Structure formats: C-alpha cells, structure tokens
Structure 1
Amino acid sequence: MAAIGVHLGSTCACAAVYKDGRADVVANDAGDRVTPAVVAFSDNEEVVGLAAKQNRVRNLSNTVVKVKQILGRSCGDPQAEKYIAESKCSITEKNEKLNYEIDGKLVSPEDVAKLIFSKMKETAQSALGSDVNDTVITVPFDFGEKQKNALGEAAVAAGLNVLRMIHEPSAALLAYGIGQDSPSGKSNVLVYKLGGTSLSITVIEVNSGLYRVLSTNTDDSIGGICFTEALAQHLASEFQRSYKYDVTGNPRAMMKLMNSAEVAKHSLSTLGSANCFVDSLYEGLDFDCNVSRARFELICSALFHKCIEAIKKLLQQAGLRADDIHKVVLCGGSSRIPKLQQLIKELFPAVELLNSIPPDEVIPIGAAIEAGILLGKDNTFLDDDMLSVECSAKDILVKAVDELGEDKFMVVFPSGTPLPARRQHTLQAPGSNSSVCLELYEALEKTLVKEDGRFAQIVLQDLDVKEGGLHDILTVLTMKRDGSLHVTCTDQETGKCEAITVEVAS
C-alpha cells in the first residue's frame, strides 16, 4: 500500500510517495520536484505553482504567496500584522477572520492552502497512477494549536486523509533513519533548516529511537529570500552604474530583478558564475550582468555571519558546545549554498554533515516514511510501533518581581518540553499586599517577552496582611498533551487557593 508525505513551506511545497519500502519525491507536471507555494486568481481560474509565480509581475494584486505565514492567525497577531503590511494582495478582516480580497471576493488562507495541497495530491497520484489519500503532513515546531488545525483542515478539504502531523525536524531525522538504524545509545543532532522566509535550528537528543527536543529557535528575519534580495539590490546598482537609472523604487522592475536573482542564486550553488539577463528592465532597456560565486558570497557576507551566529546562540541557550553535537542535518533549499555549508563544517569540524538527500526534499521524504510506518508496511526499516511525544511549542514563563521591584520572567516550560508535564514554582510577594497576581506569558525566545504575550493571570485575594514578612504562594502548573494548562495557586500560610485552566496554552 502507498502513502504520501507533504511539506507545505512558506515559499515552496513538495510531495513524496512511500511505496514498496522506500520514499521518493515526485515531480510535478512541469517536471520540477519542488512546487512554488504560489496561487494566482484570474477569470474564475486558480493557477498553482510555477505558472502563478512566473506571471506574478503582471498579476501582483491577485497572486497569493507565503500563505503558511498567515494560516490560523488573526488580526492583532504580530506575525499576521507583519504579513499584512508586506502583502501585495489586499487582506481584510471579517467575522474575526482574515481573508484575501481578490476581485471583490473573499478568499480565506485555508482555501489557498487547500489549492496547494490539492496540487500536491494530484502530483503524487499522477506518479503512483492510483488514488492515494493517506498522508502525513509536516508542521513547523513553533506552530501553535490554531496553526496546526488550520493546516490540517486545509489538507482534509483537499481530499487528503491526514494520518498524522509531524514536526519538521523529526521528519528530517526520519529521512536519514537517525535513531532507527542503531537504536541504542544517545546522541545530539542539530537540524538546520534555512527555508525561503525563515531560519529554524533545532537540537534533538536521540536516545533509543526516541526524539527529545533540547532547544529550538526560529528567526523570521532571515531566509533564502534575504539572499535573493541582496543579489537583486546588487543588480539594481549595476544597472544604475551602467544606465544612470535608479530602479529600486519601481516595483515591477525590482520584481523582474528578484526573479533573475533567484535563478542566479540557484545556479551559483553548482556553478562558479551565473548570468543575469532581464528583457526590457526599464525604459525599454535590456540588462545583462554576470555574477561570480565569490561576488555573491561577498554581497551576502553579513547574512552568512547571521546564519552561523544563530547556531552559536542556540547552543549557548541549550548549554551545549559544538563538540556535543554528533550530526548536522541540512534542510531547506537555501542550505544548498556552498559557502553556508563550508561555514557549518568549520563550526563542527568533526561532525558528520548530512546533505546527501537534497535539502528541500528531506522533510517530505521523512513525512512519507512516517506515513509508511503508520500504515504498518515498513517492517524492515523501522518498528511498526512508534512513540509520538507532543511538546510545548513555545516557552511558557511566569512573571515575578525581583528585590529591586523590576519585572523578571522565569521559564517554567521551555519550548520542546515533552508533554504531559508538571512544574512547581514558589511565588513570593510582600506581606503588606492583600492580594497577589500571577501572570503567565508565552514567547518564542525567553529574551523577547512582550506584553502581548500574556495569555493568563490568576489573582489570590483577601490574604492576611503581615508587616515585614512575605507571602509564599505555591504554584503548580500542569500542561496536558493537548497543550491545555491547569494552574493552581495556594497561599502556604492560610491554605487559600485559586485555580484556572487555559484551554490551549501553546
């Protein structure tokens, strides 16, 4: 029996099929193994993939890109606000839900994702020559319950039978059989995913076939598109130097340069130089420019530095050294860049760098292998019974006040904590207070706690006032497998107690 693994990224989507004990990525109708996650709307027709992307210059306001960034999010969400500000498609809110406004019609992000999933399903079924709907889809580690639900609903609406959602780093490990081929012993694996719009780094402890996330971080300020933009800016400078025209303020011209820069960037991963030619870039002038790999590396040197510093920062957060990492898995199309691979090798000189599977195909292959496991057809590669451990997606923190009266935050559930989990925390407050307020926050990074990250507070009232002493409030926090959080606060002296339950904390 066959099954499908689908990875929907911000910029691209990819499908792999599992059949006869192996997983392979399948090519779409254009012959490409990766499909742009771009949907264009025109004259009651929806076009998905390369054709939509190529025609975007002429149909900018009706072409949806990066839909994954807004899935399951609502107005007021910082990520959604950033997306809306950058979107060339008009986005409006109706009934507390965000929708694209296209030719006077409202189209939900879920409907756009459904079209992309439908394309992936069609691609997989064409390769298999049969109707196969059993699918495992991948989700980023930092996706909350709403984002997961929206992604799952879009896949189901496309006619897929979702067997399971699997975190992207776990899928990457499965693709290489890590922890399965030699189940005994403990090792640390760093999964480095440089996708189109973000950089995600995760350190996973593999112990007897069980994966445990030690630390993870996603940086939305850097992705493959940043390298493309840097190269496009260089091309604009070269055009200005040759023709004395500044096109950086012309959206149409810059879109053409972005398309040319992206093609050149891909070429430079395998060739020493690439030619950038744009027909009628501006005022009828054609533009032709050759870019060497050395020039590209110089243009993007600051970006490379940022990509490597992110690894060092994560290791520091996890309390690990480079020597503590045993393997590095590369994911995401932009991790193909030779200079980046070289810098990672220099950081981990004694570590095996796994890139034999094309980085933009690793995650869907892992998802397809997982689908094969769930169908019970992979007796030789992996055990049929697989333990799935849900983890908290974000850091959960308690707000307290230090001796100087300054706010301080203490992490009670670090992101990646296996669920269910229970924590105890003693909150101290001045005895002169008759009430104590406990506030809970969530954050992707404990150093970046924002006021809008507060998701719950519990107030213990009518406490006995005592001068010169302290109230000791015992807080017990229990997070269940579904992400719900139960909090109990008890005054140690009087036994006075308050409790709340937050449906989905993370």
Structure 2
Amino acid sequence: MAAIGVHLGSTCACAAVYKDGRADVIANDAGDRVTPVVVAYSENEEVVGLAAKQNRVRNLSNTVVKVKQILGRSSGDLQAQKYIAESKCSVIEKNGKLHYEIDGKFISPEEVAKLIFSKMKETAQSALGSDVNDTVITVPFDFGEKQKNALGEAAMAAGLNVLRLIHEPSAALLAYGIGQDSPNGKSNVLVYKLGGTSLSITVIEVNSGLYRILSTNTDDSIGGICFTEALAQHLASEFQRTYKYDVRGNSRAMMKLMNSAEVAKHALSMLGSANCFVDSLYDGMDFDCNVSRARFELICSALFNKCIDAIKKLLHQVGLAADDIHKVVLCGGSARIPKLQQLIKDLFPTVDLLNSIPPDEVIPIGAAIEAGILLGRENLSLDNEILSVECSTKDILVKTVDESGADKFMVALPSGTPLPARRQHILQAPGNNSSIFVEFYESLEKSPIKEDDKFAQIVLQDLDVKEDGLHDILTVLTMKRDGSLHVTCTDQDTGKCEAVTVEVAT
C-alpha cells in the first residue's frame, strides 16, 4: 500500500511517493519532477502545469499563478491586497470571498488548488499504476487556520485522503531523518528555504526526536523570482545596447525575457554558462545572448547579500551564534544556486550543510515519509516516529506596575510552549487605584522589549480602593494551535472580568 506527500508551493508543486520503505519524487507527464503551479482557462478546458505556463504570454488574463498566496485569505488581508494588485488575472470579492473572474465565470482559489492537487494525484497514480489517496500535505509555518483549512479542503476535493498537514520545516528534517541519528542528544538545526516568492528561515531544536521551533521568519520581498527578474532586466539592457530598443515597457516582450531568464537561471546551477534565445522578441527581431555564471552572480550580488543577512538577523534575534547551529538543511528550488550554497557554507564553516537531496524535493520527500509513518509501515528506514509539536515562537509578557509605580514585565507564556496551552497567573497591583491597566507584549527570547511589541491591553475599572492592600488579578491566557490568544483578567475581590482575543499573537 502506497501514500504520497505533496508540497504545493507558490510557483511549483512536487509529489513524492512512499512505497516499500522508500520515499521518492515522481516525474509528471512532461518528464519534470516539479510542476508549475499555473492553471490556464479557455472556453472548453483547464490546462495545468507546464503547458499553461508556456502559453501564458498569449493567455495572460485567463491564467492563474501563485494561488497559494491567496488561499484562505480575505480582501482585507495585506498579502491578498498585494496579490490582487499584481495579478494579471482579475480578482474580485463575491459573497464575502475572493474569486478569479475569467470569461464571465467566478472561480475560487480553492477550485484552482483542487486542479493542482488533482494533477499531483494523477502523476502519482500514473507512476504507481494503481490508485493512491492517502496523503500528507505540507504548509508554511506562518499559515493560519483559515489557510490550512482551505488547502486541506482543496486536497480533499481532488479526491485525496489527507492524513495530516505538516509544517514545511518539519518535513525538511524528516527527509534527512534528523532526530534519529542521535536520539538522546540535543541539537539546533537551521532550515533554509528559498522558494519562488519568499525566503523562510527556521531554527529548530531537536531533542530525543522532538522538534521545538525556536524561531522562524519569512520574507516575502525576496524569492527565486527576484533572481529571474534581475537576469531579465540584464537581458533587456543587452537587447537595448545591441538594437537600440528598450523593451522594458512592453509586457509581452518582458514576459518572453522572464521565461528565457528562468531557463538560463536553472541551467547556471549546473553549467558555467547558459544561452538565452528569444524568437521575435520585439518588432520581429530575434534575441540571442550568452550569460556566464560569474556574470549572473555579479548581477544578483545584492540579492545574495540579502539572503545571507536574513540568516544573521534571525540568529541574532534568537540569541544564537553560527557555532550553535549543528546542521543546515537546504530546501526550495532557488537553494540550488551554487553561489548561495557557498555563502551559507562560509557562514557555517564547521556545520553539516545538507543538500544531498535536491532542495526542491526535500519537503515532499519528508511529507511522504510522514505519510509512511502514519500508515504504520514497519519496514520504514526510520525506526521511530518523529514528533512535530507546534509551539509558541515568542515570549508573551505581561506589563504591570509594582508598589513603587515602576513598570515590570513577567513572562506569562514562554516561547517554545507546546500548543494548545493554558497558563494562569495572579497579578498584583497597587490597591489605591480604582482602575488597572494590564498590557501584553510579545518578544523574542533575550530581546529588549519595545513599545512596538505591545499587541493588546485590558482595562479593569471601578475596583474597590484599598489604601493598605493590593488588587489580586487572576489572568488566564489560552493559546490555540494557530497562534490565536484569548486572555481574561478577573479582579478577585469584585469578580469584575474583562477579556480580549487576539487572532494571531505569535
């Protein structure tokens, strides 16, 4: 009996099959091991994958890309607003939910994702020669409950039996069996994922097979597409230098250059140079240009620096040095770039850099291994199940005042607390006040607390004044798996109670 692991990224999807104790990525009908997350609509059919991507130049307004960025989001969401502004395909709100408007039809993001999952399922079944439904789906660590539900519902609508949703960093560790090689020891692992549209870095403490997220950060301002765009801009400059025409304002010509730049970028991860040829780029003129790896690295030098600076920043936030990291796992298609790998090696000269599995295949392989674990495969190469526990990523602190009136902070819910969690504390405040302000902050461990870190406050009014005593305030914090936090404060003398719910606290 087989199962599959599916990673649906913003730009590409990949499926791995678990069978006979092994997890292997499978190629699609075009022979590629990853499938573009692109769906093109025409009057009579929907085209998914490479064919849709290749035809996007001619069918721009009817082609959906990067659907993962809008799944489960509302029009008020900042990321959704950015997506809508950049989308060549019309996105509107209908009945309180976002839809693509294509040829007078309204198509939900979940329907688009369903077609991608269907493609992944067909690919797996074609490789196995039999039906396969049991699936583990990967999700980014910062996905909220609505995004997770939308992704799971799309997979189920495609006929998949979703065994579990697993976080992408945890899947990356599972792919390399991290946590089993030294089951009694403690180590810190940095998962570096550079995908098509974002950079995610996560530091995980591994202790006896248990994963604890120490800190994580996602930067949506940099991804593989930034490298492609930089190279496309260079090609446009070369065309202008040769033919005296500037094509940067021509969307069709720039789309062609983007396609050529992407092919060249992939080739430069393996070769020292790549040829960029575009048929009839502008006004019937063909364009032919050779780009060396050294030139590509020079063009993208600022992007490489940004990718490395993000690691340094996260390590500083979590209070770790490079020597405190024991392993670095590379994942995401753009982590294939040799220059980036070399810069990471230079930053961690004594650390194991794990890249023996192609970076764009690490996460689906980990998901497939998890599927094998859940199905109870006795012959799985991993002897014991590795547990992935969702934890709070930041300290939740309460600010009160002491008897002298000075501010004081107390950690009410420490980072790394397994979720869901419930904590209660008795806070004391000067009795000569009839009103008490209780303020809540979130902060990374060891980081100084700033006013910007405050995310909520509760005010208790009309309390009995005690000239010689203290107010006892029972404070209860409840955090769910999705990071939402509910807080109640109750005055023990009067029974007066106030509450606040914060949808995403950490």
Map 1:106-145 to 2 at 5 A: 106-145=106-145
Please tell me whether residue 60 in structure 1 is matched to residue 81 in structure 2.
no
Q: Distance in 2 between matches of 1:165 and 1:295?
A: 41
1:230 corresponds in structure 2 to 230
What's the offset of the Cα at 1:181?
3.3
The C-alpha deviation readout for 1:395-434, integer Å capped at 9, x for no partner, is: 585686999x9x9999865776421334567878898875
The SS at the match of 1:361 is helix
The SS at the match of 2:23 is strand
Q: Distance in 2 between matches of 1:196 and 1:107?
A: 24
Map 1:197-346 to 2 at 5 A: 197-346=197-346
Judged with a 3 Å threshold, the aligned counterparts in structure 2 of structure 1 residues 402 and 229 are, in CA distance, closer, same or farther, namely: farther
Judged with a 3 Å threshold, the aligned counterparts in structure 2 of structure 1 residues 301 and 291 are, in CA distance, closer, same or farther, namely: same
The SS at the match of 1:231 is helix
1:355 corresponds in structure 2 to 355
Q: TM-score, normalised by structure 2?
A: 0.90
**Residue 184 of structure 2 aligns to which amino acid in structure 1?**
S
The C-alpha deviation readout for 1:339-394, integer Å capped at 9, x for no partner, is: 000000000000110000000000000000000000001445234555442334x6
Q: TM-score, normalised by structure 1?
A: 0.90
Q: Distance in 2 between matches of 1:355 and 1:34?
A: 17
Judged with a 3 Å threshold, the aligned counterparts in structure 2 of structure 1 residues 74 and 416 are, in CA distance, closer, same or farther, namely: farther
1:78 corresponds in structure 2 to 78
Contact 2:138–2:364 (8 Å) recurs in 1: yes
The SS at the match of 2:80 is helix
What's the offset of the Cα at 1:233?
0.8
Q: Distance in 1 between matches of 2:54 and 2:428?
A: 60
Map 1:418-437 to 2 at 5 A: 418-423=418-423, 434-436=434-436
Contact 2:10–2:68 (8 Å) recurs in 1: yes
The SS at the match of 1:47 is strand
The C-alpha deviation readout for 1:443-486, integer Å capped at 9, x for no partner, is: 999999999x96x7644221246899997755331224465544
Q: Distance in 2 between matches of 1:233 and 1:408?
A: 53
Judged with a 3 Å threshold, the aligned counterparts in structure 2 of structure 1 residues 127 and 384 are, in CA distance, closer, same or farther, namely: same
Q: Distance in 1 between matches of 2:272 and 2:500?
A: 58
Q: Distance in 1 between matches of 2:289 and 2:449?
A: 42
The C-alpha deviation readout for 1:62-88, integer Å capped at 9, x for no partner, is: 111111011111011111111111111
Contact 1:390–1:481 (8 Å) recurs in 2: yes
The C-alpha deviation readout for 1:186-229, integer Å capped at 9, x for no partner, is: 11111000000000001111111111111111110100000001
The SS at the match of 1:178 is coil
2:161 corresponds in structure 1 to 161
What's the offset of the Cα at 1:331?
0.0
Contact 1:376–1:384 (8 Å) recurs in 2: no
Judged with a 3 Å threshold, the aligned counterparts in structure 2 of structure 1 residues 51 and 442 are, in CA distance, closer, same or farther, namely: farther
Contact 2:400–2:439 (8 Å) recurs in 1: no
**Residue 342 of structure 1 aligns to which amino acid in structure 2?**
Q
Contact 2:179–2:386 (8 Å) recurs in 1: no
What's the offset of the Cα at 1:166?
0.6
**Residue 187 of structure 2 aligns to which amino acid in structure 1?**
S
Judged with a 3 Å threshold, the aligned counterparts in structure 2 of structure 1 residues 95 and 224 are, in CA distance, closer, same or farther, namely: same
Q: Distance in 1 between matches of 2:13 and 2:362?
A: 12
Contact 1:373–1:383 (8 Å) recurs in 2: no
Q: Distance in 2 between matches of 1:346 and 1:429?
A: 52
**Residue 498 of structure 1 aligns to which amino acid in structure 2?**
C
Q: Distance in 1 between matches of 2:47 and 2:442?
A: 38
1:366 corresponds in structure 2 to 366
Judged with a 3 Å threshold, the aligned counterparts in structure 2 of structure 1 residues 346 and 430 are, in CA distance, closer, same or farther, namely: same
What's the offset of the Cα at 1:182?
3.0
The SS at the match of 1:360 is helix
Please tell me whether residue 479 in structure 1 is matched to residue 475 in structure 2.
no
**Residue 373 of structure 2 aligns to which amino acid in structure 1?**
I
Paired residues, what number? Answer: 501
1:100 corresponds in structure 2 to 100
Contact 1:278–1:286 (8 Å) recurs in 2: yes
Contact 1:217–1:444 (8 Å) recurs in 2: no
What's the offset of the Cα at 1:267?
0.7
2:181 corresponds in structure 1 to 181
What's the offset of the Cα at 1:243?
1.4
Q: Distance in 1 between matches of 2:448 and 2:16?
A: 38
Question: Any gaps of 5 or more consecutive residues in structure 1?
Answer: none
Q: Distance in 2 between matches of 1:311 and 1:223?
A: 14
Judged with a 3 Å threshold, the aligned counterparts in structure 2 of structure 1 residues 378 and 56 are, in CA distance, closer, same or farther, namely: farther
The SS at the match of 1:153 is helix
Contact 2:144–2:482 (8 Å) recurs in 1: no
Judged with a 3 Å threshold, the aligned counterparts in structure 2 of structure 1 residues 192 and 468 are, in CA distance, closer, same or farther, namely: farther
The farther-off stretch of 375-384 and 12-21 is 375-384
> Percent identical across equivalent pairs?
84
Q: Distance in 2 between matches of 1:246 and 1:83?
A: 27
The SS at the match of 1:57 is coil
Judged with a 3 Å threshold, the aligned counterparts in structure 2 of structure 1 residues 317 and 243 are, in CA distance, closer, same or farther, namely: same
Question: Any gaps of 5 or more consecutive residues in structure 2?
Answer: none
Contact 2:277–2:286 (8 Å) recurs in 1: yes
Q: CA RMSD in A?
A: 3.2
2:25 corresponds in structure 1 to 25
The SS at the match of 1:350 is coil
